[in-house]
Amino acid sequence: MLLSMDPDKIERHQAFFSRQPTDRPLIGSWLFGFFIHQQYPSVATAIDPGPIQPDDIPVDLFLKDVDALWEAYTELDDDYPFSMGAFYGVPWMEAIMGCSIHFSGTTMWADPCVRDWDTYDWKRPTLENNAWAQKLLEFLEALVKHSDGRFACGPTLMRGPVDMCAAMRGASNLGLDVYDCPENVRRLAKICADVWIEVGKAQLELVPESGNGYIVGCAGLRCWMPDKGIWLQDDAVSVLSPRLYEHIFLPQVQHIGEAFSMVAFHLHGNYLWPVDLLLTVNEIDVLELNYDVGVCELEKVTAAWKKIQEKKPLIAYADVTLEEFDRIMDELSPVGLSLQTLSPTMEAGAAKRDLVYSRASARSLMSIFEQISESVIAGDVDQTESTVKRALEVGHGPEEVLIHGLIRSMDEVGRRFENLECFVPEMLIAARAMKSGMAILRPLLKAADVEPVGRVVIGTVKGDLHDIGKNLVAVMLEGTGFEVIDLGVDVPEERFVEAVKEHKPDFVGFSVLLTTTMPGAETAIEALIRAGVRDDVKIMVGGAPVTEEWVERIGGDLYAPDAGTAARKAKAAMEG
């Protein structure tokens, strides 16, 4: 069986999941509203408000409402095909664990079932004998049969261990329990996680196999995954602290993650501290973070979105205006980004869809260069080579690709390095990717008689065998358009003189990494003076023990504390 989905859209979802360069984010709408009466009006009118039992929820009316939703989402036709799990209005996990369930007419909630730790029996529910678990599986089985391949079916919304414990004890009690009886909480969280895993796996067994991936999620909150996956959420983190969450509940999140091949995690933006902890969980494949109007600050949530994008694919949910939606796209990279939003009407969903699609059209001329830049910054050699080749194939000249692709990317790497937003390993992988692109462009630039920005002779001074700093400077200079003649390490002063005479550079760069080798730079400058070539070049000096005052004292022209600064100062000197 294949997922009913346009092949081009599947490629976009694959690019999102693997965080590959793209021209725009994915876009999906949650149509009509969150509440039960907005999603499932036939079911809502058939259930009396008050306490409910599993058999009070009619499966046939649920399927009727699903058909209406399927027709609406199919007509909207954004990046996400319709998908559905068992009636998500029920707090299924809380019900399975023993909480009584109530219906208000618009929503359902769970009453605490662990009133007293001393009388709690600690028995783990068995799915075979649990009426709510059996009802859940009945819903999904009927849904899969009813779908008949028209739309994807998967696990329902399942609240995680924190939410389950908060429901079973009551949120206020849980906030006290983590201090008064943390071992009880830890034990209950482990039971909840084990039951969560069992319920999740039981649902996945009912999901039909697909040869082109799976849409995981219900109606509005969806994610494509290459294998069967599951959504996890923990909204009740608001009653905890980072330390308590990390020590009591995060191990259970990891436990759940290890049990499934694919996991997406849903989080609200009113508490942002869990983001850092969840980014450490390798088993979480996709992180979704809500911007909730009225309780979140968009600026802070946007900063958290950016942090997530550096590590994992991001689903940014935002119930915002078209203008705010546009500003969010200005702030976030389209790479590894899915925008999902509440759209109370079909017209609202279409407007947001069209805004994203038009943004891609407006960026089409520059998208290939952005892809090159993003590939270099990510250190992706294969992607850098393929995007450089594609840019050439569609008619961009080698100099254009160099300036708008590679140079632009290394400018950004240098800026991030100076601002401590990236470090030596990130610079090294970016440099490696940039070199792979330069290897393609270099013969083409030579054939087109494209002149470099300038020429630099660089080396580590005599007696010093360190090369990493010098190599980073060389790569940054090359990445900003300079021709670089690298003399290596332990370079005697006469070799610098010979290189200046032979290559006639604009700059000579001395790398000094030891205090004991600092005199080597001064000796080399004196050698250039004696040879009569000192005034032909500008001298740049850098390295751990070096200061700007010392560089001026020995007769240097420019001081560079790091590779990004070296490239920036050299380029500025050539321009002015």
Q: What is the CATH number of the domain that holds 533?
A: 3.40.50.280
Query: How far apart are alpha carbons 327 and 305 in whole angstroms?
Result: 14
Same domain, 79 and 221: yes
Q: Is residue 564 part of a domain?
A: yes
Rg from Cα positions in the chain: 30
Under 8 Å between Cβ of 456 and 506: yes
- Least-confidence region, from 207-211, 319-323, 342-346: 319-323
Which of the two residues, 521 and 1, has the higher pLDDT score? 521
Q: Is residue 251 part of a domain?
A: yes
**Positions of E strands within 404-537:** 454-460, 482-486, 507-511
Same domain, 67 and 157: yes
Instruction: Name the DSSP class of 238.
Output: G
Same domain, 316 and 394: no
Q: Is residue 358 part of a domain?
A: no
The pLDDT of residue 181 is above 60: yes
| pTM, 2 dp | 0.67
Q: What is the pLDDT of residue 360?
A: 65
Q: Is residue 359 part of a domain?
A: no
In the chain, % of residues over pLDDT 70? 97
How does pLDDT run across 481-537, given as a tens digit for each residue?
Answer: 888 999 999 999 999 999 999 999 999 999 998 888 889 999 999 999 999 999 999
Q: What is the pLDDT of residue 202?
A: 97
- Least-confidence region, from 56-60, 147-151, 200-204, 466-470: 466-470
The last residue of a domain, from among 404, 425, 450: 450
* Position 6 confidence tier, pLDDT thresholds 50, 70, 90: confident
Q: Hey, what are 69's tokens?
A: 């939703």
Q: Hey, what are 402's tokens?
A: 């160099």
Same domain, 311 and 375: no
Q: What is the pLDDT of residue 370?
A: 84
Q: How far is CA 339 from CA 306, 392, 394, 441, 558, in A?
A: 13, 31, 29, 36, 46
Q: What is the pLDDT of residue 255?
A: 97
How does pLDDT run across 121-171, given as a tens digit for each residue?
Answer: 999 999 999 999 999 999 999 999 999 999 999 999 899 999 999 999 999
In the chain, % of residues over pLDDT 90? 62
Q: What is the mean pLDDT of residues 321-327?
A: 85
Under 8 Å between Cβ of 168 and 98: yes
The pLDDT of residue 395 is above 90: no
Q: Is residue 255 part of a domain?
A: yes
* Position 476 confidence tier, pLDDT thresholds 50, 70, 90: confident
Looking only at the bridges linking them, the beta strands covering 507-511 and 454-460 are parallel
The pLDDT of residue 362 is above 60: no
Same domain, 95 and 182: yes
Same domain, 479 and 376: no
Q: Is residue 350 part of a domain?
A: no
Same domain, 445 and 483: no
Same domain, 420 and 493: no
The last residue of a domain, from among 344, 379, 405: 344
171: left (phi over 0), alpha (psi -120 to 50) or beta: alpha
CATH of the domain at 391: 1.10.1240.10
Which of 220-234, 276-290, 361-375, 392-406 ranks highest by mean pLDDT? 276-290
Q: What is the pLDDT of residue 361?
A: 54
Q: What is the mean pLDDT of residues 463-484?
A: 84
Q: What is the pLDDT of residue 365?
A: 44
Under 8 Å between Cβ of 107 and 181: no
How does pLDDT run across 396-448, given as a tens digit for each residue?
Answer: 888 888 888 888 888 888 888 888 888 888 888 998 998 899 899 988 888 87
Same domain, 465 and 442: no
Same domain, 340 and 373: no
Q: What is the mean pLDDT of residues 21-31?
A: 87
How does pLDDT run across 244-265, given as a tens digit for each residue?
Answer: 999 999 999 999 999 999 999 9
* Position 1 confidence tier, pLDDT thresholds 50, 70, 90: low
Same domain, 444 and 323: no
The last residue of a domain, from among 385, 416, 450: 450
Q: What is the mean pLDDT of residues 384-388?
A: 90
Q: Is residue 357 part of a domain?
A: no
- Tally helices (H) and strands (E) across the chain: 24, 18
The boundaries of the domain holding residue 322 are: 7-344
How does pLDDT run across 68-123, given as a tens digit for each residue?
Answer: 999 999 999 999 989 999 998 899 999 999 999 999 999 999 999 999 999 999 99
How many structural domains compose the chain? 3
Same domain, 304 and 206: yes
Q: Is residue 425 part of a domain?
A: yes
